[in-house]
Structure 1
Amino acid sequence: MHFIDHLIFLSGGLPIIMALVLLIALAVIIERLWFYLRVFGAGRALEKELKTKSSREWVESASRPFRQTIQGRLVQTALQSNTQDIAVLDRLLDEQIMHQLPDLDRYLWILDTAVTLGPLLGLFGTIIGMIHTFNVLGAHGAAIKATGGIADALVATGMGLLIAIVAVSFLNFFNKRLRLALHELDLIRVMLINAMDEKTPRDALIGASWDHYESLSEEARHLGHDDLRGAEGA
């Protein structure tokens, strides 16, 4: 306990701030892990149901357990559209997917901030610790005290790097989950159009899906993510 108090004093109290940053980052990681676990669980189940449904009534019955999920909202949009025009339905589903983007991207900016802020706070704490250490150089036995003080001051840098390593690892993981979630929503969109209008040519569906996929890629780039076309190979 004395050593921890010594480190906090030596680094100007910054280890407390870094511990808070790490705690917030861990809270975001746990929340996002639970969120994406539910998203992909519901998505796989809904895909399985839609593969066996070929009419509006069957789609409605299959979607009832998923109404509170992002995929279920997409299905509800299709069911409530009251349109027989596939182009109009496609635009409505496209709009609904765009509405789901903030939920998929929520809190990831915190991890992005922690990646940069952690090492900077650690470096700043080390600099403060070095200043305190060099203040004892004029005293007797200063060389030994200075060596120990420098070693203690470097602990702040290590803490900052630890925060960055944890945050960047999960940030990249969640960016991949986000791309896959958007890809899954696009797949469900095409399956809905196919189920609700059996007369739609398959080539037209594929062309509409590709145009929509390109629009999602552009939107993802605005959010700071890679092209969605890398979802399969990332």
Structure 2
Amino acid sequence: MNNMKKTVNTLLILALTSVTSITFAQQATDLDTLLLQLEKGQIAQSEQNKAREAEFNSRKDQQDKMLKEAENTRDQAIALSTKLEAEFQTNELDIANKTDALNKRMGQLKELFGVLQQVAGDTRSKFQTSVVSAQIPGRGEFLDQFAQSMGSTSKLASIEEIERLWFELQREMTQTGKVHQFNREVVLADGSKVTKDIIRVGGFNLISDGKYLEYIDETGSVAELIRQPSDRYLASANELSTSNNSVVPFALDPTGGSILGLLVQAPDTQERVEQGGSVGYVILAIGLVGLLIAIERFITLFLIGNKVNRQLKESVARDDNPLGRVMLVKDNNADADTETLELKLSERILKEVPVLTSRLTIIKIISVVAPLIGLLGTVTGMINTFQAITLFGTGDPKLMAGGISQALVTTVLGLVVAIPMVFISTLLNTRSRGIINVLQQQSAGIIAERAEKGA
């Protein structure tokens, strides 16, 4: 390595000498001048070399000084690292000893703090669905902080925090047994916000203006239910809203909203009819026609029956009722023999029977056809259900709900129409048959009276 450095230095000197010689050779005009210039060049070169050596030596001393400073810094860092490592090991042992001592001193308190953390979490979940939070907001923030702090091993619950948790539990139980009225903003079903008086029934329900409300924990708001339960529940809510510190019956939800949510999802009568589809509307239309006919027949037979009963009490025949017209046959055929009179009376009764039994057959047909149309809707709904199963499988029941609803609703509608029609048809037939029997009895009496006179 040293030989290589010497060789490089020699080559550099030779190169510098050659360059200097060439430069002087270009400027010199004779040998003496050339010799003189060469001598001057050697002197100048020696001076430059000395300056370079002096500069190199001065920098070498500076570098040695910097090296010593770096070595001192390194030694100091090593010493500090050794010291810190020793302190770290000492602290680790100290922490382990103190942790062990803390665990021994805490004993069963550690289990207590675990129970407190669990209770705080459960209480927070309860407050999320409790309607009491609509009146007393901000209770969940403390419970969240308390549960998080209890999850840390570096912090234990203080007496104040434990008492606050106790207070929140006690307040929830106390408010659950009270009916309280307060004022706050309510989000209506149309999205508008109005400040209203709200009645809180324990920890079960919120009502305002006879309507049920719900508490939304995510937004901390109170909203009116888009769909309200049936009228009998709304009647109790309205009665409570208008009561003046009196005891009134009220339909409360002990689950805090779960049962109420199911009630509002239940379809009403109109929605059930709509589930029947076109077949259901056909059944209702037929039932309406039968009902109109039945009303007309009831009114007609009732009026005819009253006139017949009045005619039974009178001896003078009137032509405004079937019995009077039958009696007029006797008066108009006073000279006829018994057989002729009998035939005339039978003819008159046969003319009155169609009026008394008119359109009763239609009611009877409706009572028979309505269940058959309901059965048609049932078959159609089941076909739709099986088509849905074929296309989408049985994984999602909602896809089959439409067909099943139609199948069940049309059957129900058919029975709802048919059963009353059967009773109505029987009553009307009985009524008309009763009037016809009166006509036949009176006709038989007239014939018997004429036969006695002829004898």
Shorter-chain TM-score above 0.5: yes
Give the length in aligned residue pairs: 184
Tell me how far 1:117 sits from its aligned partner. Answer: 0.8
In structure 1, C-alpha distance between the alignment counterparts of 2:376 and 2:403, rounded to whole Å:
15
From 323, 326, 347, the counterpart of 1:74 = 326
- TM-score, reference length from structure 2: 0.37
Deviations 1:28-75 (A, max 9, x none): 11111112112221111111113xxxxxxxxxxx22xx3122122212
Alignment of 1:135-150 (within 5 A): 135-137=387-389, 138-139=391-392, 141-147=395-401, 149-150=403-404
- Matched position secondary structure for 1:142: coil
Larger radius of gyration: 2
Tell me how far 1:118 sits from its aligned partner. Answer: 0.3
Contact preservation (8 Å) 1:67, 1:73: yes
Alignment of 1:4-19 (within 5 A): 4-8=273-277, 13-19=278-284
Alignment match, 1:55:
none
Q: Does 1:118 align with 2:390?
A: no
- TM-score, reference length from structure 1: 0.69
From 82, 104, 110, the counterpart of 2:356 = 104
From 421, 430, 444, the counterpart of 1:176 = 430
- Matched position secondary structure for 1:83: coil
In structure 1, C-alpha distance between the alignment counterparts of 2:347 and 2:402, rounded to whole Å:
60
Contact preservation (8 Å) 2:388, 2:400: yes
In structure 1, C-alpha distance between the alignment counterparts of 2:275 and 2:307, rounded to whole Å:
50
Greater relative CO (CA pairs within 8 A, separation 6+): 1
Q: Does 1:21 align with 2:286?
A: yes
In structure 1, C-alpha distance between the alignment counterparts of 2:273 and 2:424, rounded to whole Å:
28
Alignment match, 1:162:
416
Unmatched 5+ stretches in structure 2: 1-269
Unmatched 5+ stretches in structure 1: 51-61, 202-234
In structure 2, C-alpha distance between the alignment counterparts of 1:110 and 1:16, rounded to whole Å:
19
Does 187-196 or 119-128 show the bigger shift?
187-196
Alignment match, 1:95:
347
Contact preservation (8 Å) 2:383, 2:403: no
What letter is aligned with 2:399?
A: K
Measured on the aligned residues, the alpha-carbon RMSD in Å equals 2.5
Alignment match, 1:186:
440
From 43, 47, 50, the counterpart of 2:312 = 47
From 133, 142, 156, the counterpart of 2:385 = 133
Structure 1 consecutive aligned stretches of length 4 or more whose deviation exceeds 6 Å: 194-198
**Structure with the largest fraction of helix:** 1
In structure 2, C-alpha distance between the alignment counterparts of 1:105 and 1:156, rounded to whole Å:
30
